């Protein structure tokens, strides 16, 4: 466990990719075989079944330390992480046990059918046997959400280096269903590798943001316009009678989206599609938040499939009948794509529609409707262009709409989590309604680290009251809040709900008396409201 705790510590502290890669390679070269399988499983989304829950951990810690509920909560709000809070609160252990990672994980697995008191005594014994760093990772293994600055991609690269295998091939090897309890890394990596080449995606072509008007792009007829959606950019590959789904982060995500499985039967062999994975219902995309419930999960529940169904909105065809057609002009690729989508005839595979327009003025007006459609703006693609590699200027442009903004005053603050622990970073903002202040949104991001420190310092000196973790502050600091959409809501006191609210800038120049009003917010709702995406 010590070795794994050291690895986690290094990975979460280091900001240098090379350092992390080196530490991982070293770990994979020296750790016990069973530990390696577990690490691979943990960081590729194969989290073990939860046998103990967070509430139990919290209660047992409170009992063990004789700390009351309110004091525990104060600690938790300062630390911002349950696993770490518990590790810090427990007194030093008295019976150290130097057992490897897999020992603890297997013991945890065996608790599945155990009764409460058996679980409790196992956990208390474990805490007593581990040091503070080990306890933290032990608790993390139970509570999940192992966000320690290690992506699946980085782990694949480290393994690729250790075992001298191509990263894409390796990604393929570690995909699929396997159980770390009875499969070693060596067994996974020595399997027959023919399938791996079949899975390999093409590098994505990425657009630059269009600054200013599109007139500079030249003749309208040379360009194709599509709506821009906020989903997961991906490639669907059908080769050698197998289906693979890749994200832009070079992650093989086939198993996360079982909706695409029927495409295996319907797509011809030797096909690669580029497009966007979107949550979609009744012909319209759902907010990105619903898609987020599907990310980071290996096993999708039935409930999630119902609440957040996905489609693949295809916009390009990169391989056709086994041939790489990226050098063909977009117009030709698109003709083939249209034909393919029609032939497939499945609602899970859709075509990103082309927007009809005669001139740039007309397109500019259409762009103004993006918000109503729940779209982020437009994509402009040159019809004669090949499909390029990486982010290149010239042929693809994203033309996003400007966010809506409103000036508001901060009224509540709460401490953040992770890197922002023990700092007030989560704020609630209000607009004026006569003499009253009406809270209408929270926002967590948008300030620089320096500004956050400054605001945190101010909050600590200007707080009025405390309600649990929340402090009310003097309504003085004014911020410009930007957001992508607005919809009416009867769950909110203000009567509105915002989409993607964030802090655009700190209006040090503006006194609180001059902030926007509830009436201003309702006006924005009248003009921009009823956005189905909000």
Residue 366 interacting with other proteins (CB under 8 A): no
Q: Is 265 in the site for other proteins (CB under 8 A)?
A: no
Among 30, 63, 68, 299, binds other proteins (CB under 8 A): 68
Which region among 257-265, 405-413, 420-428, 439-447 touches other proteins (by CB under 8 A)? 420-428
Mask of contacts with other proteins, 386-415, x by CB under 8 A? ------------------------------
Determine if 17 is a binding residue for other proteins (CB under 8 A).
Answer: no
Only one of the segments 80-88, 299-307, 361-369, 374-382 lies at the binding site for other proteins (rule: CB under 8 A); that segment is 80-88
Cα distance between residue 223 and residue 338, in whole Å: 17
Q: Does 6 bind other proteins (CB under 8 A)?
A: no
Asked if 304 touches other proteins (CB under 8 A), the answer is: no
Considering the rule CB under 8 A, would residue 384 count as an interface residue with other proteins?
A: no
Contact 199, 239 (CB under 8 A): yes
Q: Which residues pair with 314 in a beta bridge?
A: 275, 351
Is 14 among the residues that bind other proteins (CB under 8 A)?
yes
Task: Pull the structure tokens for residue 105.
Answer: 């994980």
| Spatial distance between the Cα atoms of 35 and 27, rounded to a whole number of angstroms | 10
Q: What is the dihedral of CA 332, 334, 339, 340, to 10 degrees?
A: 110
Residue 392 or 419 with smaller CB distance to other proteins: 419
Which residue from 240, 321, 449, 514 is in contact with other proteins, where contact means CB under 8 A? 449
- Helices and strands in the chain: count of H runs, count of E runs: 20, 22
Nearest-approach distance from CB 390 to other proteins, in angstroms: 28
For other proteins, the closer CB: 83 or 252:
83
Gap between the Cα atoms of 277 and 250, Å rounded: 14
Q: Report the chain's C-alpha Rg in angstroms.
A: 26
DSSP string for 295-338: TT-SSPPHHHHHHS-EEEEEEEEEEETTEE-TTS-HHHHHHHHH
Per-position b or e across 395-433, b if 16+ CB within 10 A of its CB: bbbebbbebbebbbbbbbbbbbbeebbebbbbbbbbbbe
Positive or negative CA dihedral for 381, 383, 389, 393?
Answer: negative
Indicate whether 81 belongs to the interface with other proteins (CB under 8 A). Answer: yes
CB of 9 to other proteins, least distance (A): 9
Least distance in angstroms from the C-beta of 457 to other proteins? 8
Pairwise CA distance, residues 125 & 108, whole Å: 12
- Of 423, 447, 478, 481, the one binding other proteins (CB under 8 A) is 423
- Verify binding: residue 321, other proteins, rule CB under 8 A: no
Is residue 145 involved in binding other proteins (CB under 8 A)?
A: no
Decide: is 15 part of the binding site for other proteins (CB under 8 A): yes
Q: Are the C-beta atoms of residues 279 and 285 closer than 8 Å to each other?
A: yes
Contact 479, 429 (CB under 8 A): yes
CB 309 within 8 A of CB 303: no
Restricted to residues 460-519, the positions that interact with other proteins (CB under 8 A) are 466
- Min dist. Cβ of residue 119 to other proteins (A): 24
Nearest distance from residue 6's CB to other proteins, in Å? 12
Q: What minimum distance in Å lies between the beta carbon of 27 and other proteins?
A: 17
- Best CA proximity match to 469, nearest among 57, 69, 76, 54: 76
Among the residue ranges 85-93, 108-116, 208-216, 315-323, the one whose residues contact other proteins (CB under 8 A): 85-93
Residues found near other proteins in the complex (CB under 8 A): 12-15, 65, 67-68, 70-71, 74-75, 78-81, 84-85, 88-89, 136, 417-423, 449, 457, 466
């Amino acid at each position: 466990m010590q070795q794994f705790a050291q690895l986690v510590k290094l990975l979460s502290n280091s900001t240098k990719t090379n350092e992390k890669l080196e530490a991982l390679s070293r770990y994979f070269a020296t750790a016990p075989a069973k530990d390696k399988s577990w690490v691979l499983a943990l960081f590729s989304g194969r989290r073990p079944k939860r046998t103990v829950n967070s509430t139990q951990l919290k209660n047992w810690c409170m009992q063990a330390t004789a700390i009351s509920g309110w004091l525990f909560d104060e600690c938790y709000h300062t630390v911002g992480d349950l696993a770490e809070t518990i590790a810090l609160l427990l007194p030093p252990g008295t019976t150290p046990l130097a057992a490897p990672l897999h020992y603890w994980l297997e013991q945890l697995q065996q608790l599945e059918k155990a009764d409460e008191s058996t679980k409790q005594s196992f956990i208390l014994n474990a805490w007593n046997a581990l040091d503070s760093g080990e306890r933290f990772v032990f608790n993390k293994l139970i509570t999940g959400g192992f966000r320690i600055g290690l992506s699946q991609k980085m782990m694949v690269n480290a393994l690729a280096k250790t075992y001298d295998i191509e990263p894409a091939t390796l990604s393929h090897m570690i995909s699929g269903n396997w159980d770390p309890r009875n499969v070693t890394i060596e067994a996974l990596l020595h399997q027959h590798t023919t399938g791996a080449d079949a899975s390999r995606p093409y590098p994505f072509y990425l657009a630059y943001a269009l600054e200013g008007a599109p007139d500079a792009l030249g003749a309208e007829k040379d360009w194709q316009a599509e709506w821009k959606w906020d989903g997961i950019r991906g490639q669907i590959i059908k080769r050698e009678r197998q289906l693979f789904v890749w994200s832009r982060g070079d992650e093989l995500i086939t198993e996360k989206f079982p909706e695409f499985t029927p495409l295996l039967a319907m797509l011809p062999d030797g096909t690669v599609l580029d497009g966007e994975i979107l949550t979609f219902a009744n012909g319209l995309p759902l907010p990105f938040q619903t898609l987020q419930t599907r990310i980071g999960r290996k096993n999708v529940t039935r409930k999630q499939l119902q609440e957040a169904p996905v489609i693949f909105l295809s916009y390009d065809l990169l391989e056709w009948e086994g041939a790489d057609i990226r050098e063909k002009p977009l117009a030709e690729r698109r003709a083939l794509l249209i034909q393919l989508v029609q032939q497939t005839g499945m609602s899970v595979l859709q075509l990103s529609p082309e927007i009809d327009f005669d001139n740039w003025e007309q397109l500019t007006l259409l762009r103004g409707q993006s918000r109503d459609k729940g779209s982020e703006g437009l994509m402009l693609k040159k019809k004669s262009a090949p499909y390029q590699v990486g982010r290149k200027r010239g042929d693809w442009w994203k033309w996003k709409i400007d966010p809506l903004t409103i000036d508001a005053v901060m009224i509540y603050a709460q401490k953040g989590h992770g890197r922002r622990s023990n700092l007030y970073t989560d704020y609630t903002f209000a607009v004026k309604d006569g003499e009253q202040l009406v809270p209408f949104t929270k926002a967590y991001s948008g300030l620089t680290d320096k500004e956050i420190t400054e605001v945190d310092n101010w909050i600590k000196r200007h707080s009025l009251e405390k309600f649990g973790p929340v402090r009310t502050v003097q309504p003085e600091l004014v911020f410009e809040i930007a957001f992508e959409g607005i919809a009416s809501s009867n769950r909110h006191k203000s009567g509105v709900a915002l989409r993607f609210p964030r802090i655009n800038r700190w209006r040090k120049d503006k006194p609180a008396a001059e902030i926007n009003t509830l009436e201003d917010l309702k006006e924005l709702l009248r003009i921009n409201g009823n956005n189905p995406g909000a």
